[in-house]
Amino acid sequence: AQSLPYAPVPNQRRHASKHRLFVNELSHALFEFVVQLLPTTEELVVKEDVRKLLERLIRTIEPESRLLSFGSTANGFNLRNSDMDLCCLIDSVERLSASDLVVMLGDLLERETKFHVKPLPHARIPIVKLSLDPSPGLPSGIACDIGFENRLALENTRLLMCYAMIDPTRVRTLVLFLKVWSKRRKINSPYHGTLSSYGYVLLVIYFLVHVKNPPVLPNLQQLPPVRPISKEDTHIDGHNTWFFDDIDLLCQRWRSSNTETVAELLIDFFRYYSRDFSYNTGVASIRAGMLKKESKGWQNDLSSSKFHDSRERNRFCIEDPFETDFNVARCVTREGLYQIRGEFMRASRILATRPRALVALSQLCEE
Ligand code: CTP
Ligand code: MG
């Protein structure tokens, strides 16, 4: 009687297979759900045409300039009708200041194009905001921001793109679903005290790299480099932007031993951020794992801080992957965080009742 094979009692077995059925059906539904929200080829073509047109116009002011996409248009996390984030890089040494460029470009675009133009030369990061009204060929119009010399944003876009490439199905499905979910549940607005899309993407990557065991993704910023790297090549404005970006090579050498389905990961994501993440003391860092607010000087100590503002800034802490002194969640207010955590809990509750997959998705994303 030494090695009796373990056989689950029938009741447990039924339970396990019911769970399997639920997560398989939900994974399939999640995948189908995000696929129909991807941008159409026409939309991508129109956007690329817009980028080229704008680049041509900018070159009449700064001949040595390039206009590059960043954000969701460039990292594989774009949904239908998402905004365009563009960044102008100027390769000449003598160039106009960002705020002068914003003013000049604003005037030029006003004269030469049909866009509604709003130059913001005095913003923390000076940008020109553009929009195009809906038309039959472009039912949702276009919204676009043009910034200048934002090289860190180009690099963090490339980092997120590389993470998406390692495990496209699971990573993209999770991220795209959470973007839709957070928008429909109205917790995706830094202006209203909640979190940007960029913040949610970092939460997903953090979860897949540092919370899941075995991890779904490796830590691209901590892998050993294959060739020597020089400081000049990897630093931008004093920030180390190096990461392992040879994804073909990586996929030859590394494979996650985590085989969970998208649905299992999503259920666990909601559970982790509703129950386990230490909002009061922790900082989510995709570079270094869980850090302490204290060690970064990001305390949220109500008694010792005289400044309402600085206190308010660190309720929820997500370290930017490269600009490590920047808290990506700094706009999240007390009420915003309450709302966000409430939504994580609500989602967990819905999924715990194991409804049919389509019912689950429509309840989760109910507006
Ligand atoms: N970004 C950043 N720091 C922030 C917010 C944004 O560097 N605090 C940069 C990132 O490069 C990010 C890009 O701006 O990829 C766009 O941010 P956001 O609009 O929040 O994300 P998207 O993925 O573009 O989401 P959406 O489709 O909702 O626009
Ligand atoms: Mg965007």
Nearest CA to ligand 1 atom 23: 72
Architecture of domain 41-150: 2-Layer Sandwich (3.30)
Q: What pTM was estimated for this model as a whole?
A: 0.94
Tell me whether 0.85 is exceeded by the ipTM: yes
d(CA 22, ligand 1 centre) in Å: 33
Q: What is the pLDDT of residue 124?
A: 84
The 10 Å Cβ neighbour count of residue 214 is 9
- The class of domain 167-217+256-364 in CATH terms is mainly alpha
Q: What is the mean pLDDT of residues 333-346?
A: 97
For 140-165, write each residue's pLDDT tens digit: 899 999 999 999 999 999 999 999 99
Q: Which helix (H) or strand (E) segment is 298 a member of? A: none
Distance CA 265, CA 66 (A): 39
Structure tokens at 183: 């928008």
Where do the DSSP E strands lie in the chain? 65-70, 84-90, 116-120, 127-132, 142-148, 235-236, 239-240, 282-285, 289-292, 318-319
- Taking only the tens place, the pLDDT of each residue in 298-336 is 986 555 445 555 557 899 999 999 999 999 999 999 999
CB 156 near ligand 1, within 6 Å: yes
Residues bordering ligand 2, an ion, CB closer than 5 Å: 71-72, 83, 85
Sequence ranges of the domains in the chain:
41-150, 167-217+256-364
33 or 14: which carries more pLDDT confidence?
33
